[in-house]
Structure 1
Amino acid sequence: MRIGLLGTGPWAERVHAPALAAHPEVELAGVWGRRPEAASALAAGYEVPAYADVDKLFAEADAVSIALPPAVQAEFAVRAAEAGCHLLLDKPVALTVPEARRVAEATARAGVASVVFFTLRFGGTQAPWLAEQAAREGWFTARCEWLGSVFTADSPYAASPWRREKGALWDVGPHALSVLLPVLGDAVQVTGAQGPGDTVHLVLRHAAGASSTATLSLTTPPGAAVDGVGLELRGTAGLTRMPDRDESPATAFGRAVDALLASARSGEPHPCDAAFGLRVVEILAAAEQSVATGAAVSL
């Protein structure tokens, strides 16, 4: 499959590009970016063309891998789907519910495959563990944490404008929801509370009766962010904890590419498709409303 890359930032450079170039069933078709000089530099490193016209890349690719900020991802995802390209998207798919819905509707209309890269859903040890827990019944409650120090001097994402504006809720909140929802079921109510910095605490009530909490932060003190990603489940089966991450995001991204290829060939939607991406955005928007108003929001 010929896959074009949209984006030239650290995530595109460190994750998307190397994973696409290394995949045995993929040809990196070219690179487009909002900064032409950066697109040329990234493309030259992989000996592929840099495109000045994104629509020309859509026309010459079978799929696109989008590593753009979420505020602009939706626009290009819709255009790519309308051009017949399968979509490999990043989370969140958009920063508003209407924009996320546009993406989901465009993929459905065009009949193209879509996969949203939620890192833990494609982890080598996390994905099978999550599938095992989702097959069990009797879950009572869950606790998820994603505590990071993104805005330190040595972080490649310290200068990210959208992360500074939207904070942990929108950056790592999608990761938390991506592991809570498949195990406990859809959320029917969310309550949010603001913590220090950009920290947000969520309480979710799930359709099957279970409840969960999530603590999210990009501004955790560095010493306190050690081992800051985790999921704990309690229920009739007892207590279980998600295995720690033990591989690079690029390795997990390779499995997301596998998932897109399989969905495109079979026509079967992937569980992490654009429709799931829309649901995550709906819950995040409700959580944001709850934080602002101090009231629980039903979904």
Structure 2
Amino acid sequence: MRIGLLGTGPWARMAHAPALSAHDGLEFAGVWGRRTDAAKELADLHGTRAYDDVDALLFDVDAVAVALPPDVQADLAVRAARAGCHLLLDKPLAATVEEGRAVAAAVEAAEVASVVFFTARFQAETAAWIAQQADTEGWFTGRAQWLGSVFTSDSPFADSPWRREKGALWDVGPHALSVLLPVFGDVRRVAAAARGPRDTVHVVLDHAGGASSTLTLSLTAPPAAAGAAVELWGEAGVTLLPESSEDVVTALSRAADALLGAARTGRPHACDARFGLRVTEILAAAEGLLDGNQR
């Protein structure tokens, strides 16, 4: 499969480009970016071609991986799907529900495969744990805590405009939802949402399976307090999401495997654009409550 990369930022450099160039089942065919000099630099680093015209890249490849802000990703994902390209997308799928619906509709209409990269769903240890808990009945409640220090450290993402605008809810909220939804079922209702220090938010979810969950999300935690944890309580007892020893390149390579499988078989992956849309809808509902609570 010939695959192109859309994006040249830190995430493209540290994750996407290394994963695509090293993958045995992919031909890393080119890079396009909003800055042509950055696209050339990244393409040269991985021995591939830089494109000035995104549509020319879409014409030349079978698939694209996207490492761009969610609003930019959504528009280009629609264009790529209409060009017949399979999609390896990042979270969140889009910045609004309307944009997310457009991506999901374009994927369905074009009959292309899609995978949204939720890191925990593609790391071996965490994916196995999620699958095991999804097969376990009797969950009562759970909590997900994703505390980042993007804006309180020397993170390469500290200058990200969309993260500053959308905050932790939209950046790390998708990670939490990607773990909880397969276990507890879809969200029937966002029961409550409140703001904490800086960009920290707290969200309470009512799940279709009868369980409830709480999310605590931040990109402004003190570096010493940063980390992610998921804990579940139920008839089986208490269990914690294990820490993964795999790096992000390995996880992204596994997501590429999933895209190849979905393209070959025609069977949608569990983390496809439809799932990405559902996550976007839940985030938007929580954001609506947060905005309402400010008035």
Query: What TM-score, normalized by structure 2, do the two folds share?
Result: 0.98
State the partner residue of 2:220: 219
Matched, 1:126 2:133: no
RMSD after superposition:
1.0
1:49-69 CA deviation, whole Å, 9 max, x = no partner?
100111111111000000011
Instruction: Give the % identical residues.
Output: 66
1:152 positional shift: 3.6
Q: 2:122 touches 2:255 (CA, 8 Å); kept in 1? A: yes
Q: 2:64 touches 2:80 (CA, 8 Å); kept in 1? A: yes
1:153 positional shift: 4.7
One-letter code of the match for 2:75?
Answer: E
Q: 2:173 touches 2:283 (CA, 8 Å); kept in 1? A: yes
State the partner residue of 1:274: 273
State the partner residue of 1:248: 247
State the number of aligned residues. Answer: 293
The whole-number CA distance in structure 2 between the counterparts of 1:222 and 1:159 is 17
Within a 5 Å distance, the mapping from 1:139-218 to structure 2 comes to 139-190=139-190, 191-218=192-219
One-letter code of the match for 1:99?
Answer: E
Question: Equivalent residue of 2:50, what SS?
Answer: coil
Q: 2:153 touches 2:223 (CA, 8 Å); kept in 1? A: no
1:78-103 CA deviation, whole Å, 9 max, x = no partner?
00000000000000011100000000
One-letter code of the match for 1:275?
Answer: R
State the partner residue of 2:71: 71
* Unaligned runs of at least 5 residues, structure 1: none
1:231 positional shift: 0.6
State the partner residue of 1:292: 291
Moved over 4 A (4+): none
One-letter code of the match for 2:263?
Answer: A
Question: Equivalent residue of 1:169, what SS?
Answer: helix
1:71 positional shift: 1.5
Question: Equivalent residue of 1:47, what SS?
Answer: coil
State the partner residue of 1:231: 230
1:119-145 CA deviation, whole Å, 9 max, x = no partner?
011112000110011011111001101
One-letter code of the match for 2:162?
Answer: W
Question: Equivalent residue of 1:93, what SS?
Answer: coil
The whole-number CA distance in structure 2 between the counterparts of 1:8 and 1:186 is 34
Within a 5 Å distance, the mapping from 1:67-146 to structure 2 comes to 67-146=67-146
1:102-123 CA deviation, whole Å, 9 max, x = no partner?
0000000000000000001111
Query: What TM-score, normalized by structure 1, do the two folds share?
Result: 0.97
